[in-house]
Structure 1
Amino acid sequence: MIYTVECNYADLASEAEWNGFYSLEKLPALISVSGFRSSQRFKALSGACPAYLALHSVDTLAVLHSDEYRQKGGGNFSRWQSHITDWRRNFYAGPDRAIAVGADEFLLVSEQGPHVLIELGLTPLALHAVALDKAPASRWLAKLGCVQARASNLQGLNVYRAMTVQLQS
């Protein structure tokens, strides 16, 4: 299952510090939780989407209700909470693991259907919302090399660059 967390951050003065906390402290804490298999964080380059996206591969939704999750990774945002906007969480059925996106690749996300990604010669991964916000109900993910992206029409897609490597348990 894929657990997604998306948001914007509204305070430019503390945004770099918040990004450091999330990428260097929160993701490693999450990946140490039993049932979390991978975690990676992204920043949007274009599209009608929140600026930040985290993709986590988890065993089951029950992981998010565990004491271990609450102690190590769930929450811990009190210092930043007032600046986090457009926050949404989704739990998607689909692939067992989120795709790892390298520094020389982009993550492409379609909420309109897989056809845009297929037209780029990619094989999209389908995600279907089963819990939490359940919006969007479906998404399709693919990764594209930076060189290929320059020659491609990415209109209608949310385009992200990786902020971290994919951490794995």
Structure 2
Amino acid sequence: MIYTVECSYADAQTEAEWNDFYSLQKLPALISVSGFHSSQRFKALGTGCPVYLALHTIDGLSVLTGDEYREKGGGNFARWQQHITDWHRNLYACEQAAPAVQAGELLLVSRHGPEALRQMGLRPLAMEAVALEGLPPQRWMARLSAEQRSALAALPQGIDAYEAMTEQLRKTAVQTIVS
């Protein structure tokens, strides 16, 4: 399952500090939670969607309702909460884990169907909302390689593009044993 967290941030003076906290402290804390398998943060290149997107591959909803999640960082934004806007959380069922997006690549997300992504020569990952907000009820995402990105003149309408802010953190066998 893929757990998504989206938001924008309304205070330019503390935004860099908040991003450091989220990327350097929160993501590593979350990947240490039992049932989390990968985590990565993104920043939108355009408008019309929340600025920030975090993708996590998890086992299921019970991971997000457990004590370990709450203790290790779930919802731990008290210092910055007043500046977080356009906040959305969803849990999506899908056949694969969240894709790892490397530097120079893009994550493309569609709320309007997979066709535009397919027409770009991509193989979109279908996601069906199963918990939390449940909106949008379906999404499709695909990784656009650096080579494809450089050849792309413009994105089709209805596609949101994101650049990776972090590498994808993955749970290793050692982390699983220690956790």
Q: TM-score, normalized by length of structure 1?
A: 0.97
In the TM superposition, what whole-angstrom CA distance separates every residue of 1:25-83 from its partner, at most 9, and x where no partner exists?
A: 00000000000000000000025210000000000110001110000021110000000
CA distance in 2, matches of 1:95, 1:27: 23
* Equivalent residue letter for 2:134: K
Q: TM-score, normalized by length of structure 2?
A: 0.92
| Aligned residue number for residue 175 of structure 2 | none
Runs of 4 or more, structure 1, over 3 Å off, are none
| Aligned residue number for residue 167 of structure 2 | 165
Within 5 Å, give how 1:45-124 maps onto structure 2.
45-124=45-124
CA distance in 2, matches of 1:148, 1:139: 21
Contact kept in structure 2, 1:108 and 1:141, CA below 8 Å: yes
Contact kept in structure 1, 2:3 and 2:89, CA below 8 Å: yes
| Aligned residue number for residue 39 of structure 1 | 39
* Equivalent residue letter for 2:20: G
Gap runs ≥5 in structure 1: none
* Equivalent residue letter for 1:64: L
Contact kept in structure 2, 1:88 and 1:133, CA below 8 Å: yes
Contact kept in structure 1, 2:96 and 2:125, CA below 8 Å: no
* SS at structure 2 position matched to 1:117: helix
Instruction: Give the paired residue count.
Output: 169
CA distance in 2, matches of 1:43, 1:79: 21
Identity %: 63
Gap runs ≥5 in structure 2: 172-179
Contact kept in structure 2, 1:44 and 1:52, CA below 8 Å: yes
* Equivalent residue letter for 1:125: L
